[in-house]
Structure 1
Amino acid sequence: MASTSVQTEKVDTGPPADGRTSAGPHSGPARGRHRLAGTAPYLLLLPAVAVTLLFLGYPLVKNGMLSFQNLNMRQLIQHATEWNGVDNYRETLTSDKFWQVVKRSVLFTAVNVILIMVLGTLIGLLLARLGNKMRTLLMFGLVLAWAMPIIAATTVYQWLFAQRFGVVNWVLDKLGWHSMADYDWTGSQFSTFFVVTLLIVWQSIPFVAINLYAATTTIPKELYEAASMDGAGVWKCFTSVTFPYLKPFLLATTFLEVIWVFKAFPQIFAINEGGPDRLTETLPVYAFVEGVGNQHYGMGAAISILTILILLGLTAYYLRIVLKQEKEEER
């Protein structure tokens, strides 16, 4: 029996009568929607970028222009502009006082950040182990400390450490340290920095503790169960399970605390205005005293620009660490 094969030919009927063509994935409307989806994130960021440029960009440019001027009270009253090039920067960078303040600022920042991160981490881990009632009570206290305005908190610490009627001196006197009854906490460099450090650490711990507790809630419980079955103790569970998960958070939080402490101004200035004898001035306070206090506005602007450059250097160093960590994780 002979088999016959029937072949059908595809007949080209040509374009539709109305002249339209079928739309593929790369046609005009689809391409337009793809472009809109690609530019949507940038459009959403545009208002924030515009506000940032308006409220931060313009003052920064204005401050940069002032740093190249000889602007004192006389020029300010006469509305005179006297450009002096890089003289303000040259005088600042060749000043021993400036480099002393830089070293003091770095040391002050390092001590504060270490205390903040260690105590904040311990309290955050404590929050993860407490019951619901105690956790809520502790978090309520942390939020109150965190929400307290800076100047209000500084005023409270001034009352606590007041020389004659301060609560701290009264308590120390009652505990047997009678020499502390009238102790002047702002009379020396070390004691002034002690009060300021206590204030800044107290204000910063809630941010670290609450966020670290939130980060611990993302760690799968199965990992702890597996570590316990392998015989891991508390320290081994922390180093092998908790710390690897919290490492990105700790790096980011440490970087934020470095910036926040390094540029701290109200606490130091309100406690003792950088005294005694300008021995507790950090870079922000030093820029204010030189610029506004001594009416050398161009010099103060130059110091503030140098402070920003130091912070940018710290930012670049942090980004380098993050990128290096991401490459190691990809491997």
Structure 2
Amino acid sequence: MTVQTERPPSGPAGVRKSDDEGSGGPKQRAASRTGALVPYLLLLPACAATVLLLGWPLLKDLLLSFQNLNMTQLIQHVTEWNGVDNYQETLTSEHFWRVTLRSILFAAVNVGLIMILGTLIGLLLARLGKWMRFTLLTGLVLAWAMPIVAATTVYKWLFAERFGVVNWVLDKLGWHSMADYSWTSSQMSTFFVVTLLIVWMSIPFVAINLYAATTTIPKELYEAASLDGAGAWRSFTTVTMPFLRPFLYATTFLEIIWVFKAFVQVYVYNQGGPDRLTEILPVYAYVEGVGNQHYGMGAAIAVLTILIMLGLTSYYLRIVLKQGEDEL
């Protein structure tokens, strides 16, 4: 008796069936393609809002920078193109380069102080007890949440010439020459107050971020370092810093941008005075554009400010992107 066994079909039909089974079938492939599109669909509203709120104003500013627009043209709705004249006049202005150098130094000093003090306070938060940490975090959040104009106004009151608390305290401590001192009378004193304000408002962001980063460090690493005979400094450099480095790079990048465009603090406190000696690039663009009614010139300065800021942050941007690629 002969027993016949059924063999699988051969030829193209069998191959197609095998391919369909291996790839999961048409329905599964369609579902896979749909799933791949979901992240992009979720990002679409945010991208659309970014283009609408940032891209369109930036494009309008760029077009305005190639125009000769003052109050007369604005009232008459006349568009007068002048090419690169605004950029040429700005780049050949000695005052523009003085303001640019001043802005870079101002940002460097502020960011340096913010990162050093913010890092120290963030590490302190990790060492404090529960209630002390809660109290300090509450104070940091309140300082961070205060509106910029309100905070600047408070600092104007604190450093007021006749009735300011700071002058009164300094006078009581023996510095009688400070009783009626005007903090807005010189470049250095004005920058001192503005720097104090910006650092005070920025430290909470850095400190809270760094404290959050320390909570991700496994305690076993500190125990292993202690068993190896590592002291406090060596544990900090070999365990803590490698974990904090990506956060420090990203936070520094954000702080450079935030400080470089600190228009409100400088302008509200002393309008870039005295004698325009405390103008930084955002204030300079506003004074030339709105104050002097040279709107095309102000737009050109704003575009150049963005380019300078991108140049300054490009190095940190590369580091941040490289850190993200390494983590992947």
Q: TM-score, normalised to structure 1's length?
A: 0.93
Are 1:280 and 2:278 counterparts? yes
2: CA distance, partners of 1:325 / 1:33: 33
Residues 21 and 129 of structure 1, relative CA distance in 2, 3 Å threshold: closer
Q: Quick one: percent identity of the two aligned structures?
A: 74
Q: Is 2:236 the partner of 1:213?
A: no
- Pick closer, same or farther for the CA change 1:22–1:85 going to 2, 3 Å: closer
Amino acid in the other structure paired with 1:207: F
Q: Find the aligned partners of 1:67 and 1:166 in 2 and give their Cα distance.
A: 42
Q: How does 1:1-331 map to 2 (within 5 A)?
A: 8-10=5-7, 12=9, 24=21, 25-323=23-321
Q: What is residue 17 of structure 1 aligned with on the other side?
A: none
- Alpha carbons of structure 1 residues 27 and 328: separation in structure 2 relative to 1, 3 Å: closer
CA distance in 2, matches of 1:13, 1:281: 82
Q: Do 2:253 and 2:317's aligned partners in 1 also have CA atoms closer than 8 Å?
A: no
Contact (CA 8 Å) 2:256, 2:313: kept in 1 or not? no
Secondary structure at 1:83 match in 2 = coil
SS at match of 1:133: helix
Amino acid at match of 1:220: P
**What secondary structure is seen at the aligned counterpart in 1 of 2:149?**
helix
- Matched residue, 2:14: none
What number of residue pairs does the alignment pair up?
Answer: 324
TM-fit CA distance, 1:323: 4.9
Counterpart of 1:150 in structure 2: which amino acid? I
What is the one-letter code of the residue matched to 2:61?
N
Provide, for residues 166-213 of structure 1, a one-character-per-residue CA deviation record: whole Å limited to 9, x for no partner: 000000000000000000001000000000000000000000001100
One-letter amino acid of the counterpart of residue 231, structure 1: G
Q: CA deviation at 1:153?
A: 0.4
The residue type paired with residue 246 of structure 1 is: L
For structure 1, which runs of at least 5 residues remain unmatched after alignment?
15-19
CA gap 1:5/1:220 in 2 versus in 1, 3 angstroms: farther
Structure 2: distance between partners of 1:209 and 1:301: 35
Shift of 1:314: 3.0
Deviation at 1:26, TM superposition (A): 4.5
Q: Does the 8 A contact of 2:184 with 2:270 survive in 1?
A: yes
Partners of 2:59 and 2:9 in 1: CA distance:
67
Partners of 2:170 and 2:178 within 8 A in 1 = yes
Partner SS for 2:209: helix
CA contact under 8 A between 2:155 and 2:197: conserved in structure 1? Answer: yes
Identify the structure with the greater helix proportion. 2
Shift of 1:229: 1.4
Give the Å deviation of 1:11: 5.9
8 Å Cα contact 2:272-2:279 kept in structure 1: yes
Shift of 1:69: 0.3
